[in-house]
Amino acid sequence: MATYPTLPVRHGADPKPINQVEIDRAEDGTGYARSFYSADKMHFSLEHPWITTAQKSALDAFYSANRLLDFDYESPASGLTHNCIFAKSPAYEYHRPGFWTARVEMEEV
């Protein structure tokens, strides 16, 4: 299985839980929760600031090779490895010759 490239990650890229909990209310207002998943999964919104053109090319190649496949991603926030898929293709912001900021969305499978 492929491993996500090691790139700098902007602080605040903590994973956000996807739990799909629905709250229903009875006629008297009492709340009842139901979940569609047995365990929470994570959504990652990563920002890789000021990466070089070579790092951008490596991320593009990784995305092309794994855009429909799952891969391992180690979260710098927790140090845990998550099995993920891409939710969107990487988006780039150009800064100056040779430097970019990449934004990547992925979800745990």
- 82 forms bridges with which residues in the sheet? 73
Residues 4-24, mean pLDDT to the nearest whole number: 86
Residue 82 lies in a domain: yes
pLDDT more than 90, % of the chain: 68
Q: Specify if 6 maps to a domain.
A: no
Query: 63 lies in a domain?
Result: yes
- Mean pLDDT across 78-83: 92
Contact 51, 59 (CB under 8 A): yes
Q: Which of 27-31, 53-57, 98-102 has the lowest mean pLDDT?
A: 27-31
Whether 9 is covered by a domain: the verdict is: no
Q: What is the mean pLDDT of the chain?
A: 92
Q: What is the pTM of this model?
A: 0.83
* Residue 4 maps to a domain: no
Which residue range forms the structural domain that includes residue 55? Answer: 16-108
How many domains does the chain divide into?
A: 1
Does residue 13 have a pLDDT over 90?
no
Q: Is residue 94 part of a domain?
A: yes
